[in-house]
Amino acid sequence: MTSQTTFANAKIVLPREVVQGAVTIADGLITAIDPGTAVAAGAIDCEGDYLCPGLIELHTDNLERHLSPRPRVDWPHDAAIIAHDTEMAGVGITTVFDAVRVGSIVTNAPSRYPRYARKLADEISSMRRKGALRISHHLHLRAETCSETLPDELEEFGVDDRVGIVSLMDHTPGQRQFRDMEKFEVYIRGKRGMSGPEFQDHVRHLTGLRETLGDRHERATIKAGLRLCATLASHDDTTRAQVDASASHGVSIAEFPTTREAAQACRDRGIQIVMGAPNLVRGASHSGNVAADDLAKRDLLDILSSDYVPASLLQGAVQLGALWGDMARGLATVTSNAAAGCHLADRGRIAPGLRADLTRFRLIGDVPLVRGVWSGGRRVG
């Protein structure tokens, strides 16, 4: 027997407008949208709340925070994955691309960090098969070109691994995100407890890796993206020349461009611009780079990512809606635009035939309060 649910008296967030009406779902799919404020018998009265597509998160480090809640603490992985999944669902996210690093350093003690991506991907897949996950999980491989093992680690992944994004990462000191060496030193020494000499050795080692292996690793990443049928993304582009190089590689999404110049170059090249929702909510980048609201005011922002604060995704989208005077446009940065960026044609919009991924929320002042989340028609939050 078909199971049907109707959400009535809602502000329905469509890609280009917000309309008052009802949404009906059945067997995990959206079946109808009807205008009006009537609440039929058996329908869920949304009481005028917003009803938007389930949010889509393209780049989050949240799982790593659950895996290592304190430095040198390794939390049980199955429990960490469930906690991460539950948190995502609780803030309205129904599709998440879990960002996992590929590319490790195994020789230099101050710089060392181990391989973990393949094992973690298997653990996420295992939890999915066991029915433990509430929402849809995909992989985002953060390919660190400034590393020692990148090509080998990329080869460990295949087309069955649900890899949706492969991003070109280059954290060589003195450029991109870390062009300010004083801020880089404060960040790294604070995070890793390095002494001054250890930090200098760390910088020398990373610089040497980029000089000797960087180009090879870039080529391996581009090849892997094509083999895995994944969206190729750049990360922390700073100059027009870097954006031009990204475009030549086939990049279609630029994550967190650090300057207005780079963002404008992305727009000129037809590359979607992703900015961090925490940057937007705080009003500034924690790394001292360009502010997300500055780009938004210049029509240089297409997609938001919660990065390290899951709840910021909906809050940032609502904030953009207020900034632009268009709530539908603000919510599109975390729904339809994100879906299009990763070629997810079955979600990201409220339309008949698409997945019944829905988030219900109301505003308390200017802060969104999530009141219900459905993934594939099943209530998960």
Average pLDDT over residues 25-53: 97
Are the CB atoms for 84 and 128 separated by under 8 Å?
no
Let me know: does 233 contact 250? Beta carbons within 8 Å. Answer: no
Q: Rounded to whole angstroms, how far apart are CA atoms 30 and 9?
A: 16
Percent with pLDDT over 90 in the chain? 80
The answer to whether 317 touches 302, Cβ cutoff 8 Å, is no
Beta bridge partners of 217: none
Q: What is residue 187's predicted lDDT score, i.e. its pLDDT?
A: 64
Residue 16 scores a pLDDT above 70 = yes
Overall fold of domain 54-348 = TIM Barrel (3.20.20)
pTM of the model: 0.92
Write the DSSP string, 354-368.
Answer: SB--EEEEEEETTEE
Shortest CA distance to 138 belongs to which of 95, 82, 194, 191?
Answer: 95
Per domain, the residue ranges of the chain are 54-348
pLDDT confidence tier of residue 108, bands split at 50, 70 and 90 = low
% of residues, the chain, pLDDT over 70: 92
Q: Looking at the predicted structure, is the pLDDT value of residue 101 above 60?
A: yes
As a whole number, the mean pLDDT across the chain is 92
Q: How confident is the model at residue 220 (pLDDT cuts 50, 70, 90)?
A: very high
The 3-state DSSP class for residue 221 equals helix
- What is the residue-wise DSSP string for 73-129? ----HHHHHHHHHHHHHHTTEEEEEEEEEE--B-S-GGG-B---HHHHHHHHHHHHH
**Is-contact 91 311, C-beta < 8 A?**
yes
Q: What is the pLDDT of residues 123-179, one digit of tens each?
A: 999 999 999 999 999 999 999 988 889 999 999 999 999 999 999 988 766 566 666
Burial of 343 (0-12, 13-18, 19+ CB in 10 A): exposed
Q: What CA–CA distance (Å, rounded) separates 89 from 304?
A: 17
Contact 302, 270 (CB under 8 A): no
- Per-residue pLDDT reduced to its tens digit, 294-307: 999 999 999 999 99
Does pLDDT of 182 surpass 80? no
